[in-house]
Copies of this chain bind each other. A is one copy, B any other.
């Protein structure tokens, strides 16, 4: 592992190289044999399991039930919604052979499940009594990507996709906002990742949606990450798929629909945002191991105290584990767990046995804290919460520093070239300006923040009247 650590480029010097290497070194993930695919190794998958546990509970609380729809979508079904197929067709993986024979109709591996789910919704929904229909699924989806990036952009990824149908647009819209706010909580409270909730522009919205809400966070080199989205589908799909219901007056109406997804892409943001030159720094609430207990050497007294410490912590609800002295040197084990970003390590040697105490080292600050064993159950959860808060505060300060208001295009280009980050600028909402800005600066509209008030301004690009400041940034 000393070798491994020397092998890690400095995050401050080469974020992208650091990112690729730390994922492999910390055993979060590995490359799959087919181009663009990845393996979620146990340590990386454990993070996803913590996300699932939290998000699944919140989704169920909202009255949404889990289900599972097929992986394969007949090509004709996918093609039913025009805007939808246009958006996804360049990214499809297609099964043409089944059981040794050429298929009569090609099967698309789902890039998302709107079409296959709504074909069923049309059969299941008849009356206002059947509404709202609120279904979620945890599954794998495939979108063919030319340039791939571990976690952030892979051919196959994991996510949950929620799909609801309502009697009124108001009900649907409430679900759209509930979903994005729930996602924002997961990002803020678990991932310690602040960001902006906002509306996507017409050109950046989901293929088939009326409106798309997004949560946009900021990565260390100043690029934005679209972290998750929630879509107001209006009646676009319900008209195409014929999803209608008899209202209480016996009149037939089309349902109003939403879809929303949170993917393993989020873990890429987590890794990138909080690391340092020594490796990962995982926020405690999302760390698979919160405290790693390290007996300094092989010795009965030390082993016994280590076991006691692990048990005490587990009883206090802390995710603790022990990495014993029989397999590797203490130096090497410290390096390993620093790389892996475990928030606290508990070193236990002869000194600790004598004092019946533990030396805790914070991964984020390297601060050493000596704590009597009897106080662990109370103090460790407090320290973990303090680390969680400190990581969030750092990320928030970074986000604030790197969100800059600009008044004209010269300033826009200068700030972008020097400092990156988010730019808050008036835009007239014409696609031609958005496209020109993108071509000239690589910055795209990220969103119109939901709390942005209406103002009088002029478009940063064309000078025509503009009502809102939008957030622009270069993005992953």
Chain A residues packing against B (C-beta within 8 Å): 30, 32-34, 37-42, 45-46, 48-49, 65-74, 77, 89-100, 106-107, 109, 116, 119-120, 123-124, 129, 135, 139-140, 142, 144-146, 155-156, 158, 327-328
Contact B123 A30 (CB under 8 A): yes
Q: What are 10 A-B pairs at a CB distance below 8 A?
A: A34-B107, A41-B67, A45-B67, A70-B156, A89-B100, A94-B95, A94-B96, A97-B106, A129-B328, A139-B140
The smallest C-beta distance from A422 to any residue of chain B, in angstroms, reads: 31
Pair B89/A97 contact, Cβ less than 8 Å: no
The answer to whether A34 touches B96, judged by C-beta atoms less than 8 angstroms apart, is no
Q: Which residues of B contact A45 (CB under 8 A)?
A: 65-68
Assess whether B94 is in contact with A34, with CB atoms less than 8 Å apart.
no
Q: Is the CB of A98 within 8 A of B89?
A: no
A112 to B105, CA, bound (A): 24
- Decide if B100 touches A90 in the complex (CB within 8 Å): yes
Q: Are A32 and B116 in contact (CB under 8 A)?
A: yes
Contact of A98 among B30, B71, B93, B107 (CB under 8 A): B93
| Centre residue among A32, A42, A68 by max chain B CB count within 10 A | A68
Within the complex, what minimum Cβ distance (angstroms) separates A7 from chain B? 16
User: Once bound together, how far apart are the Cα atoms of A109 and B41, in whole Å?
Assistant: 20
Cα of A48 to Cα of B67 in the assembled complex, Å: 10
- Enumerate chain B residues within 8 angstroms of A94, measured Cβ to Cβ: 95-98
Q: A33-B77, A45-B67, A46-B65 are in contact. Are A96 and B97 (CB under 8 A)?
A: yes
A77 CA to B48 CA, complexed, in Å: 27
Given the known inter-chain contacts A42-B65, A66-B45, A129-B327, please indicate yes or no for A33 contacting B73, CB distance below 8 A: yes
What CA separation (Å) do A40 and B145 show in the bound complex? 29
Chain A interface, DSSP helix/strand/loop, else mixed: mixed
B37 adjacent to A72 (CB under 8 Å)? yes
Whether the Cβ atoms of B32 and A70 lie closer than 8 Å is yes
Q: Judging by beta carbons under 8 Å apart, are B99 and A144 in contact?
A: yes
Q: Which residues of B contact A96 (CB under 8 A)?
A: 94-97
Chain B contacts of A129 at CB under 8 A?
327-328
CB of A29 to closest CB in B, whole Å: 9
Q: B66–A49 contact, CB under 8 A?
A: yes
B residues near A145, Cβ cutoff 8 Å:
99
Give the nearest-CB partner of A69 in chain B: B39
Are B109 and A30 in contact (CB-based, < 8 A)?
A: no
Q: How far is the CA of A393 from the CA of B343 in the complex (A)?
A: 51
Q: Which residue of B lies closest to A101 (CB)?
A: B144
* A382–chain B nearest beta-carbon distance, Å: 28
Complex contacts, A142 vs chain B, CB 8 Å: 71-72
Q: Is A40 in contact with B68, judged by CB distance below 8 angstroms?
A: yes
Contact B95 A90 (CB under 8 A): no
Complex-state Cα separation, A389 to B41, whole angstroms: 40
Q: Is the CB of A39 within 8 A of B66?
A: no
Known: A66-B46, A158-B68. Contact between A91 and B95, CB under 8 A?
Answer: no
Q: Is the CB of A97 within 8 A of B93?
A: yes
Give the docked Cα–Cα distance between A256 and B71 (Å): 33
A74 and B33 contact, CB distance less than 8 A: yes
A49 to B106, CA, bound (A): 31
With A94-B95, A98-B94 as contacts: A30 and B120 at CB distance below 8 Å:
yes
**Cβ contacts under 8 Å, A155 to chain B:** 72, 98
Task: List the B side residues contacting A93 at CB < 8 Å.
Answer: 72, 95, 97-99, 107
Chain B positions within 8 Å of A32 at CB level: 69-70, 72, 116
Count chain B CB atoms within 10 A of each CB in A32, A135, A328 and give the residue with the most: A32
A144–B95 Cα distance when bound, in Å, is 12
Report chain B residues within 8 Å CB of A89: 100
Distance, CA A322 to CA B379, complexed state (A): 43
Given contacts A46-B66, A48-B68, 8 further A-B contacts (CB under 8 A): A32-B69, A40-B69, A42-B135, A45-B68, A72-B155, A90-B99, A92-B97, A96-B96
Q: Which residue of B lies closest to A105 (CB)?
A: B34
Contact A38/B70 with A99-B144, A109-B109 known, Cβ cut-off 8 Å: yes
Q: List residues of chain B with CB within 8 A of the CB of A30.
A: 120, 123-124
Q: Would B91 and A99 count as touching, CB distance under 8 A? A: yes
A37 to B140 alpha-carbon distance, docked (Å):
16
A228-B140 Cα distance, complex, nearest whole Å: 24
From residue A441, how far is it (CB to closest CB) to chain B in Å? 27
- Nearest-Cβ distance from residue A159 to partner chain B, whole angstroms: 12
- Give the Cβ gap from A84 to chain B, nearest Cβ, in Å: 16
